[in-house]
Amino acid sequence: MKLAVFSDVHSNLEALELFLEHSSHLGVEEYACLGDIIGYGPNPNECIATVSSLENIDIVMGNHEWAILNPLEASLTMNPMAHDAIVWTQQQLSEQSRQYVSGLDYKIQKGPFTFVHASAFEPDRWEYLLAGNSAGVALCLLHSVSRMTFVGHTHRPMIADSHGESLIPTGRIKDGTTYRYSDSDKILVNPGSIGQPRGEFRKPSYITVDTASNEITWHRLDDYDPKRTVEKILATDLPAECAYYLNR
Ligand SMILES: [Fe+2]
C-alpha cells in the first residue's frame, strides 16, 4: 500500500493542485492530511472542498481550524499574522466549510500509523516538535501507540526516533530522500508543508509511505511558482507577510 501524507496546505490552492497532480503519478492509494488546510492563503473554501473530496483520506484538525472554532482563545494565543489571517478566513468560510472543520478529530490512529497536527501528547496544546525539541518528540511518541506518528505544524520536514534524536538531519532531507524503516522502529515523521513551506525547504513538500518496501520518501514540488498565489493574497485583506513567506 502506498500512502501520501501531507500537511499545512494553508488555503494555497495552486500548491494543493500541484501536489495532487504530482502524487497521482506515484501510485498513491491512500492519503492523510495533518491539518491546517486553511489560514494564511486566499482559497480556504476551495482547499477544504478539494481535500475533503478525496477518497481514502484521513484528515485531522490543525490549530488554524481550531482557531476558527475557538476565536477567543485564538486571539490570545496566536501570533498577530496568523490571527489576522484567521479573522479574514472567518469572514470567507461558507457554512459548509465551517461544518466540515468542526467535525475533524485531533488525532487518528489507523493500523501502524497515528496522524496528528502537532503532538500526540495533548494535541490541542499545539506544541512545535522542531528538531532539537527532543523532550517534546519523546513525549509525543510515548503517548502514541503507533510505530509511525506523523505530525505537521512546524512546516519543516523531519524524522526522529523515540528519544527525539533526528534520524536524518533536517537540512539534509531533500527531494527523493528515503528512510527505510524496520518493524521495531518507533518514529516521528513530518512531511513539511504544502502551502507555506519554511526552513530549508522553500518549495512544497510531502511524503509517501510504501508499506511493501518499508520506505518513507520526501517529495519536493520544485515546479511550484508562488507568483499566482502571491498575487491573490495581495488582492485580499490578508496580511502581506502571508505572501512574503511564499516569495522569498
Ligand atoms: Fe500550519
Q: pLDDT tens-digit profile of 148-165?
A: 999 999 999 999 999 999
The pLDDT of residue 123 is 98
**What residue spans define the domains of the chain?**
2-247
- How far, in Å, from the CA of 96 to the mean position of ligand 1? 22
Would you place residue 170 in the very low, low, confident or very high pLDDT band (cuts 50, 70, 90)? confident
Ligand 1 centre distance from Cα of residue 63 (Å): 7
Residue 247 has pLDDT above 80, yes or no: no
CA–centroid distance, residue 108 to ligand 1 (Å): 18
pLDDT digits (tens, 9 = 90+) for 98-132: 999 999 999 999 999 999 999 999 999 999 999 99
* CATH fold for the domain made of 2-247: Purple Acid Phosphatase; chain A, domain 2 (3.60.21)
Chain segment 41-100, per-residue pLDDT in tens: 999 999 999 999 999 999 999 999 999 999 999 999 999 999 999 999 999 999 999 999
154 CA to centre of ligand 1 in angstroms: 7
With contact defined as beta carbons under 8 Å apart, do 186 and 161 qualify? Answer: yes
Cα–ligand 1 centroid distance for 112 (angstroms): 24
Which residue in this structure is represented by grid cell 530549508? Answer: 200
What is the whole-number distance in angstroms between the Cα of residue 40 and the centre of ligand 1? Answer: 9
* 178 CA to centre of ligand 1 in angstroms: 24
Q: How far apart are the CA of 183 and the centre of ligand 1, in A?
A: 30
Instruction: Please give the mean pLDDT across all residues of the chain.
Output: 96
Interval between CA 127 and ligand 1 midpoint (Å): 12
pTM summary value = 0.97
Ligand 1 centroid from CA 36, angstroms? 5
Q: How far is the CA of 233 from the centre of ligand 1 (A)?
A: 17
Question: Average pLDDT for residues 154-178, to the nearest whole number?
Answer: 95
How far does residue 184's CA lie from ligand 1's centre (Å)? 30
Distance (Å) from CA 28 to ligand 1 centroid: 24
What percentage of the chain reaches a pLDDT higher than 70? Answer: 99
What does the DSSP assignment read for the chain?
A: -EEEEE---TT-HHHHHHHHHHHTTTT--EEEE-S--SSSSS-HHHHHHHHHTSSSEEEB--HHHHHHH-HHHHHHHS-HHHHHHHHHHHHH--HHHHHHHHT-BSEEEETTEEEESS-SSSGGG-----TT-HHHHHHHHHT--SSEEE--SS-SEEEE-TTS-BSS-GGG--TT-EEE--TT--EEEEE--SSS--TT--S-EEEEEETTTTEEEEEE-TT--THHHHHHHHTTTS-THHHHHHH-
Centroid of ligand 1 to alpha carbon of 85 (angstroms): 12
Cell numbers for 217 = 520518501
